[in-house]
Amino acid sequence: MLKDASTKVTQPEGDGATDSTMLPTPSSVMSGAEIFVRSLEAEGVKYIFGYPGGAVIKVYDEIARLNPSFQHILVKHEQGGTHMAAGYAKVTGKAGTVLVTSGPGATNCVTGIADAFMDSVPIVVFTGQVPTHLIGNDAFQETDIIGITRSITKHSYQVRDVRDLARTIKEAYYIAETGRPGPVVVDLPKDMLAATTSFQYPEQVFIRGYNPNVPVAMKQLELAAEMIKASERPLLYVGGGTLSSRATELLTEFARITRIPVTTSLHGLSSFPETDPLSLGMLGMHGTWYANQAVQHCDLIFSVGARFDDRVTGKLDSWAPHAKVIHIDIDPSCISKNVQVDCPILGDVKEVLQKLTPLVAPKDTAAWLGEIEAWRKECPLEYEKDGLLRAQGVIQKLRAQSGGDAVVVTDVGQHQMWTAQYFQFVRPHSHITSGGLGTMGFCLPAAIGVAFGLREKGIDVPVISVSGDGGFVMNSQEMAIASAHNLPVKIIVVNNQFLGMVRQWQELFHENRYSHTNLAPTNPDFVKLAEAYHVHGVRVETPAELDAALASAWKSADAPVLIECRVQMDEMVFPMVPAGAATGDMITKRYSADDAV
């Protein structure tokens, strides 16, 4: 299979010229800036998240002049714009669009681009650039953004000829959205936006070095079907690829036909209803005890669009010691990267499951499911219920209030893990987070992007943004966008006045030396902060207050609401596989530091 992958010359239908799809026809001559606007319209872009500046002033001028079919959302900070684009992309399946100026405008996008790269999110970031004759001169607001982002983009372009502009935009969206999705940067020197040429948006893309449509090898499917048939203790390990391939229904059908239990990675959450008896919740570092026990005892791991991240496997050499591995992935470089795979299936999850499902028969997994049930009873997810407001309880109340009918966006840290553990996702694409890069400050802007995406698609479900008090402040300025555009985002700040996850590690592994994790002295008044951005804010300190605040927040259909939840400070996320430990060695409750592994 990989022999095929090592040569990827695809024959063009025409003469092989890269620009054969863009035949110059006598159409109207326009400036690069106008071509940019028209190209985005032709691409079907509905929202762009941007911030103007000198290098892109001509584009902004055209946006004002042409009144285009897309809406420009003026963000407060470019990083916020990139996360909005990511949230939008996750919920719509279409690439998110960002437009920023050169220099600091471009560098402010770096974290968002890296985040999208790690989590395979399609975004296209257009950055302004100084005019071509000034490139390399240390001109005002010049930065080599292509160089800076080289390792964190799927591909990037700098337009050096206005005649390439429309084709470049077409290719950028194509590359971002196809195959394993990812961020693409397009650098636009100012003189390219002023130069004129005739405009025609290409209908097709042909890039000879890029062919994302790999045919699925039938032989591999047959092998996989045999392995599934032969296995006695099979386990589905589902990742974000299932969601980006829009294959949640197929996966659910597959699991229910074969009666194979399902565990998901953080990004795989919401691909399979967690209320189903086959669901084991999340696996890995803060996964459930029973999911991790199932991993350690299964004889077959069927990985569907997941990448065996170190937060999933822990110590690699003792992970799933009895299992053979089947792995569906669209990116060949993910296969056998961390765990050697017995049956690799290169391809899109949706296509693979469509072809594989007819090859499998119902299995009798009752004994295996019985074993898992015993583990579930032995160590269920639980926390102290003493009438105090605890973060886990906040998540459960959000679940109860929404009935699971909401898109939940989380930031990074303890609240993220508790949401993953306690929300019980049932609605496909209802969980969005920053998993790979772990970007604090991701949540609020991403939730705003989600709200725009849902608005575009006419889907009326609430968006819940769950942040900690640390990460929320990192992009809290974007509350202004939620209020200005009447987005009914439910902004939950789980405030334990600490950088909770780091605090947890300090307590468990660093002898309670809470070095610089106490946020109380520097935290703002969250309610006042919300009000400064025209967002209604409430502070709650007891479960009863939270109930009332949630009931009233769910009545707000056209305005954001912030609820600051003052939760218990010293709570820890359990169970936990300490970093580098074997998956079988989980800490399931608070213990003395002397017992540390």
3-class SS at 147?
helix
**Is residue 214 a contact point for other proteins (CB under 8 A)?**
no
Please list every residue from 117 through 146 that binds other proteins, using CB under 8 A: 146
Alpha carbons 393 and 148: distance in angstroms, whole number: 42
With binding defined as CB under 8 A, does residue 1 bind other proteins? Answer: yes
Which of the residues 443 through 462 are near other proteins (CB under 8 A)? none
CB of 241 to other proteins, least distance (A): 15
Give me the least distance between CB of 336 and other proteins, in Å please.
7
160 near other proteins, rule: CB under 8 A: yes
333 binds other proteins (CB under 8 A): yes
Interface stretch with other proteins, choices 63-71, 238-246, 326-334, 366-374 (CB under 8 A): 326-334
Q: How many CA atoms lie within 13 A of 473 on its CB side?
A: 16
Q: Are 128 and 116 in contact (CB under 8 A)?
A: no
- Which of 150, 528, 534, 590 lies at the binding interface for other proteins (CB under 8 A)? 150
Task: Give yes or no for residue 106 binding other proteins (CB under 8 A).
Answer: no
DSSP 8-state symbol, 453? H
If one asks whether residue 44 binds other proteins (CB under 8 A), the answer comes out as no
Bridge partners of 325, per DSSP, are 301
- Choose which of 20, 21, 296, 318 interacts with other proteins (CB under 8 A): 318
Q: Which of 158, 242, 252, 303 binds other proteins (CB under 8 A)?
A: 158
Piece of the chain touching other proteins by CB under 8 A; list 3-11, 126-134, 272-280, 419-427: 3-11
- In angstroms, the CA 442 to CA 440 distance is 5
12 Cβ partners below 8 Å, 6+ apart?
20, 206, 208
Which segment (156-164, 197-205, 371-379, 497-505) binds other proteins by CB under 8 A? 156-164
* Beta strands 463-468 and 489-495, pairing class: parallel
Stretch that binds other proteins, among 282-290, 336-344, 489-497, 556-564 (CB under 8 A): 336-344
Phi-psi region of 308 (alpha: psi -120 to 50; beta: other; left: phi over 0): left
For residue 414, the minimal CB distance to other proteins (Å) is 30
Nearer of residues 160 and 590 to other proteins, judged by Cβ: 160
* Residue 399 C-alpha from the chain's centroid: 21
Q: What is the dihedral of CA 72, 155, 174, 210, to 10 degrees?
A: 180
| H/E element, 291 | helix 289-297
Using CB under 8 A as the binding rule, whether residue 321 contacts other proteins is answered as: yes
Euclidean distance between CA atoms 259 and 278, whole angstroms: 7
Of 336, 424, 483, 568, the one binding other proteins (CB under 8 A) is 336
Q: Residue 111, Cβ neighbours under 10 Å: how many?
A: 21
555: left (phi over 0), alpha (psi -120 to 50) or beta: alpha
5-34 residues in contact with other proteins (CB under 8 A) are 5-9, 18
Q: What region, left, alpha or beta, does residue 103 occupy, with left being phi > 0 and alpha being psi -120 to 50 degrees? A: left
Number of residues that bind other proteins (CB under 8 A): 39
Residues annotated as catalytic (active site), given as ranges: 78, 140-141, 190, 501
Binding residues (CB under 8 A) for other proteins: these are 1-2, 5-9, 18, 146-147, 150-151, 154-156, 158, 160, 175, 207-210, 316-322, 331-333, 335-340, 344
